[in-house]
Amino acid sequence: MPELHNPGFADRLKTAAEAKKARLASFQARPTVTDPLFEQRAALKAAEQAQVRADRAAAKEALRQAALDAAEAERQAHVQTEAEALAATRGERKARKALTKAEAQAKRDARYAARKARQ
């Protein structure tokens, strides 16, 4: 006849200790499986990151160069505008002088003609 299993205190302690040990074992770190292609993937990822960095640096440099070019173009336009304004001022001054010179010549001619007319 089978004996009824009626655990005693020692059996309960033993079962509790085994359960505690199993519970602690579930939190233990398990040995990891190393990927045989880990090194290759790491090198590939590093190469991709380097490419992304290079692309970003190139884009940043292009933006900086574009800003410098725009500033230089603006400066050249400003210099050109100033040169045109100066040339216009000089042209006006030359025209004014030529007119004044022509007026003076006309006055002299008028005086000369008046003097000739009196004689």
pLDDT in tens, 66-101: 999 999 999 999 999 999 999 989 988 888 888 888
Q: What angle do CA 64, 65, 69 make, to 5 degrees?
A: 120
Is the separation of the CB atoms in 25 and 33 below 8 Å? no
CA distance 54 to 4: 77
Kindly state the average pLDDT of the residues 25-51: 90
Judge if pTM exceeds 0.85.
no
Residues 6+ apart with CB under 8 A from 7: 15
Amino acid found at 46: A
Phi-psi label, residue 64: left if phi above 0, alpha if psi -120 to 50, beta otherwise: alpha
The average confidence (pLDDT) of the chain is 89
Domain extents for the chain? 39-118
Is the separation of the CB atoms in 28 and 20 below 8 Å? no
Position 1 confidence tier, pLDDT thresholds 50, 70, 90: very low
Q: Which of 12-26, 44-58, 79-93, 104-118 has the lowest mean pLDDT?
A: 104-118
- The per-residue pLDDT for 96 is 83
Is the separation of the CB atoms in 36 and 42 below 8 Å? no
H or E stretch covering 66: helix 38-118
